[in-house]
Structure 1
Amino acid sequence: MTPHGQKIQPIAPLGPLNALFDTESISALLNRSDDALRESDLAAGYYVPAQTFGNLVPQLKQPRKWLNDRGFSFQLSYKGEGIANIGGGIRRGMDYAHEVTLVTRFDLGRLTHADWLEGWFLHGVLVERAGNQVSHDYVGERRILLSEVYSLSGSVAAHLADIYLEKSFFRNRVNINVGRLTLTHTYATSVLLCTFIIQCSAPVGVKSQSGWSVYPKATWGGTIRIRPTRDLTLRTGVYASGVLTDNPSGWAWGAEHQTGVMLPIELTWEPFFGRVSKLPGHYKLGFGHDTSSYDNLIGTVPAQYKADVGHLSREARDTFYFEADQMIYRSGGEHQMAGGYLLAGYIHNTPNVSVFSDQVYVGMSLLGIIPHRPFDRFGFMYSYYQVSSALRRGQRLRQMAGMSMGAFVNDPQTHSETLEAYYGIPVIPGLIFQPVFEYMMHPGQTKKIPNATLAGLKILASL
């Protein structure tokens, strides 16, 4: 429950599942007094689209219930970000970007009264976006977005993101979803990551790679999700892989160029520590294999160095990731966001064909750290991004030959680092103000552009 008594609604397809076997796996190794799972099944809402603690128009509660009872539910939300570069970068200035999102769910069984459609749900997500990207305009950064909601699709009136069918089988022990989906709404994500701007909806090391379709870029595919034991969840699927910038409207499905398939798999361990405090943790081990054939990032080799470089073969891309968050104290309720968390993660991509070969991040998301403000949330995250050694080598060879190193590249690229901090303030039910601070080290992954300091305001609102 939220502080205003509103139930947290999980965003499908990540609702709770029943376990195949009513036992623990890894959690069984814990001290019996520290393992709350031994008393009861504590699965609870964790993945939510926005923590706005209610709705701006409570008068719609009864109409919403009437529609939901008949098989239709929706959420209309606004997210706006005004972020200014106040020091460093290429120049000072501010950009604004916003997103209006309509999330819908159709209970096909209730709507049609057809027995054969019982338990089938149709989900749809429609997005309107407008604005400009502060990373490009003022910081001089082209690979890491410092404003979340203006990215792949750019300004668009009605971008179709996810549209897919969902069904659970075997007494809610197996769940499938199939259609046009965003991988990073299902894999390598969490609501905690999406309280941050830079790492939403997945870490940069994942979402920056072609093949990992990142919101609002959906692709054809499907996922099957099972829960073998009460503390483990396994998900895997098959998705079409292609260029992330294809089909910016979301409607031109025939215009997409598919280069292969993405095969993701993720195992999540969800323990609850302590029979009294019941502190949840989420520990994820994931892997994705993209069968697409990618050029070696060394790129164009000057004639005088071709003998040294040798033959450059094309490769598929693999991504490994580990992500963890652990609640360290509970405050303000029983749901899984009611407390303070520590976060950490590591991502590794095939270096020869991935712009970022590695990423490491650590952070915290703390609830109610200021007296008499129990529902404010403070977040802080540091992240390090390592550029591919192949990309750097190719740029260095072209620089020595007096050739262009590539668009927006002013020196061989090595790495970047980012710091992000926010303070989320629930103003009224359905409205959150979130001041943000960002500091980017080595914009453009070089030392040519001064480190950038950014500040701004993020606003979340739900109808």
Structure 2
Amino acid sequence: MTPPIAPPEVPKPHAKPKRPIAEEHLDSWFQTVSLSYLLSHNTDALRRQDVSAGYFVAEQAGGNLVPALKPWRERLRDKGFSFEFTYKGEGMGNVAGGLSKGMDYTHEVRASMLFDLGRLTDWRPLAGWYLHGIVMNREGRQVGWDHVGERNVLLTEVWSIHGPAAARLADLYLEKSFLNNRININIGRIAITHTYATSVLLCTFMTMCSAPMAIREPAGWSVYPKTSWGGTLRIRPTRDLTLRTGIYRIGPKPQDNTGWAWGSETATGIQTPIELTWEPFIGPKKLPGHYKIGYGHDTSPYPDLIGTIPAAYAGSVPRHADKARDTFYIEADQMVYRASGEHQMAGGYVLAGFVHNTPSNSTFANEFYVGTSLLGLVPGRPRDRVGIMYSYYQLSPRLTYGQELRQSAGMSMGAYVNAPQTHSAILEAYYGIPVTPGLVVTPEFEYVMRPGETSVIPNAVLAGLKVIAAL
């Protein structure tokens, strides 16, 4: 006999609004499950605590450093304004191999804001509308560039391909749910990787946040703090399936490093991502899993990565015409044991993924990763988290071919290129320690194989520390 299905939750009239990092709660269209029916007939109430909130890992801090601010926060929240101030600092040093020994430091200071427009204005038509905003400062240098000789894969999270900015405007978008929380939309300036191909688990790793590098590198995927004009629609057809799709205007990433100069941006095309997520709960302990399949089509014209063809080969080696770029990805994580609670982060996970881009015009043709994120392995430290990740990167075969042609002709293969580039791999490990509510300290280790995607530079060993603090 199938147990009765629990009715959907009814929000309390004055319930605490969602935090700036979270998506609006989404109810299913049909009170049934899809593939999960083959695994378990149990109800799945735990799904209401979703692990797929997105990029922001400051929540690992688990509270605030200044609890005296709580009454003030609550008064502001009741009037329609919520906020977070966070600091994230990363110091990574190359201790062996690479180009040279040395250390670089980066940091991010971020203010995240959430405006409940209905409460702020007390105007009924705006009830349920939220405005999200993020302003940040980023400074520092990239250890991969300075000391390792790796310029394609970022070895720290905070230093992005967009460089430093004193006060950069990142996300600024509206959010609203309709039809009794069965449709959720957001529209405005959004980093696409806040919504697609990401998870809290991925963002516990420096090299994988906010999405795998093969997703972040193509210009068609705007990566935090770079944003694009556009929006996403979310629905949950059944209790274990979530569908996301949207449309975004795409332009070159180096434009407008501040995030404020919207008028200076140019558009090259549109990106139309779509992602389907299956979220089963397996076994009597209801171990959650998240299985994603996604696709993105960028209509922008991208050139053949073969680059300059030497005159000696001009008649025999054709250049491909500019064309659009496609991205396909699959990602999966599965809890394998439960510890320290009933929520979806209370346990150990295994995770893996694969990304494929159009090979002729994408720097990364393929990426594969596999790893673990384990909680409470050390006796007496139930909230410490250990992560290990292996990631493999294959560059575009057309890029490699063009470099081989120029090398044979005695020409430069390109800036910072010392041999035809083919592939690289990184082994990353961390140990996250919640020191006190609002503060997490994480020792980090990375072993970079084939820096620069060649065998010329020795493999590099890096060690460092990441600190996340929430005011």
- Give the TM-score category using the shorter length: over 0.9
Contact 1:152-1:216 within 8 A present in 2 as well: no
For 2:242, give the aligned amino acid.
T
Contact 1:153-1:249 within 8 A present in 2 as well: no
CA distance 1:193–1:9, shift in 2 (3 Å): farther
Contact 1:232-1:269 within 8 A present in 2 as well: yes
Match of 2:135 in 1: 126
Q: TM-score under structure 2 normalisation?
A: 0.94
- SS at structure 2 position matched to 1:365: strand
CA distance 1:41–1:460, shift in 2 (3 Å): closer
Matches within 5 A, 1:79-118: 79-118=88-127
Q: Which residue of the other structure, out of 50, 55, 73, is the alignment partner of 1:45? A: 50
Matches within 5 A, 1:411-430: 411-430=419-438
Match of 2:390 in 1: 382
Match of 1:3 in 2: none
Q: Deviation digits for residues 2-40 of structure 1, max 9, x if unmatched?
A: xxxxx996655633200000000111122x3xx54x364
Contact 1:181-1:219 within 8 A present in 2 as well: yes
Deviation at 1:78, TM superposition (A): 0.4
- SS at structure 2 position matched to 1:14: coil
Contact 2:20-2:113 within 8 A present in 1 as well: no
For 1:59, give the aligned amino acid.
A
Contact 2:24-2:184 within 8 A present in 1 as well: no
Deviation at 1:289, TM superposition (A): 0.2
Deviation at 1:328, TM superposition (A): 0.5
Moved more, 427-436 or 145-154: 145-154
User: Unaligned regions of 5+ residues in structure 1, if any?
Assistant: 1-6
Contact 2:20-2:83 within 8 A present in 1 as well: no
For 1:428, give the aligned amino acid.
T
Q: Which residue of the other structure, out of 315, 318, 321, is the alignment partner of 1:307? A: 315
Match of 1:346 in 2: 354
For 1:411, give the aligned amino acid.
A
Deviation at 1:42, TM superposition (A): 2.9
Supply the distance in 2 between the matched residues of 1:297 and 1:251 (Cα, whole angstroms).
Answer: 31
Supply the distance in 2 between the matched residues of 1:9 and 1:359 (Cα, whole angstroms).
Answer: 34
Root mean square deviation, CA, Å: 1.4
Q: Deviation digits for residues 28-77 of structure 1, max 9, x if unmatched?
A: 122x3xx54x3646321322622101100001111111111110000110
Contact 1:152-1:248 within 8 A present in 2 as well: no
Residue 75, structure 1, aligned to residue 84, structure 2: yes
Match of 1:443 in 2: 451
CA distance 1:410–1:81, shift in 2 (3 Å): same
Match of 1:221 in 2: 230
Match of 1:4 in 2: none
Supply the distance in 2 between the matched residues of 1:219 and 1:84 (Cα, whole angstroms).
Answer: 33
Moved more, 235-244 or 414-423: 235-244
Deviation at 1:158, TM superposition (A): 0.5
Match of 2:288 in 1: 280
For 2:49, give the aligned amino acid.
A
Moved more, 89-98 or 302-311: 302-311
Contact 2:444-2:463 within 8 A present in 1 as well: yes
For 1:115, give the aligned amino acid.
R
Contact 1:201-1:214 within 8 A present in 2 as well: yes
Q: Which residue of the other structure, out of 337, 348, 352, is the alignment partner of 2:345? A: 337
Q: TM-score under structure 1 normalisation?
A: 0.95
Match of 1:14 in 2: 23
Contact 2:20-2:132 within 8 A present in 1 as well: no
For 1:235, give the aligned amino acid.
R
For 2:130, give the aligned amino acid.
F
For 2:184, give the aligned amino acid.
N
- SS at structure 2 position matched to 1:161: strand
Deviation at 1:253, TM superposition (A): 1.0
Deviation at 1:290, TM superposition (A): 0.3
For 2:50, give the aligned amino acid.
G
Moved more, 402-411 or 43-52: 43-52
Contact 1:41-1:230 within 8 A present in 2 as well: no
Supply the distance in 2 between the matched residues of 1:346 and 1:215 (Cα, whole angstroms).
Answer: 21
- SS at structure 2 position matched to 1:308: coil
Residue 259, structure 1, aligned to residue 264, structure 2: no
Q: Which residue of the other structure, out of 177, 187, 196, is the alignment partner of 1:187? A: 196
Supply the distance in 2 between the matched residues of 1:353 and 1:387 (Cα, whole angstroms).
Answer: 10
For 1:105, give the aligned amino acid.
L
Supply the distance in 2 between the matched residues of 1:16 and 1:367 (Cα, whole angstroms).
Answer: 26
Supply the distance in 2 between the matched residues of 1:380 and 1:222 (Cα, whole angstroms).
Answer: 34
Moved more, 53-62 or 41-50: 41-50
Q: Deviation digits for residues 163-216 of structure 1, max 9, x if unmatched?
A: 000000000000000000000000000000000000000000100111100010
Supply the distance in 1 between the matched residues of 2:101 and 2:24 (Cα, whole angstroms).
Answer: 44
Residue 431, structure 1, aligned to residue 434, structure 2: no
Contact 1:8-1:45 within 8 A present in 2 as well: no
Contact 1:81-1:147 within 8 A present in 2 as well: yes
CA distance 1:315–1:39, shift in 2 (3 Å): closer
Supply the distance in 1 between the matched residues of 2:20 and 2:374 (Cα, whole angstroms).
Answer: 22
CA distance 1:267–1:10, shift in 2 (3 Å): farther
Match of 1:369 in 2: 377
Q: Which residue of the other structure, out of 249, 252, 265, is the alignment partner of 1:240? A: 249
For 1:111, give the aligned amino acid.
L
Identity of aligned residues (%): 60
Deviation at 1:82, TM superposition (A): 0.6
Contact 1:343-1:364 within 8 A present in 2 as well: yes
Q: Which residue of the other structure, out of 154, 158, 161, is the alignment partner of 1:152? A: 161
Supply the distance in 2 between the matched residues of 1:213 and 1:13 (Cα, whole angstroms).
Answer: 19
For 1:124, give the aligned amino acid.
G
Residue 56, structure 1, aligned to residue 61, structure 2: no
Supply the distance in 2 between the matched residues of 1:78 and 1:425 (Cα, whole angstroms).
Answer: 16
For 1:45, give the aligned amino acid.
D
Deviation at 1:300, TM superposition (A): 1.0
User: Unaligned regions of 5+ residues in structure 2, if any?
Assistant: 1-15
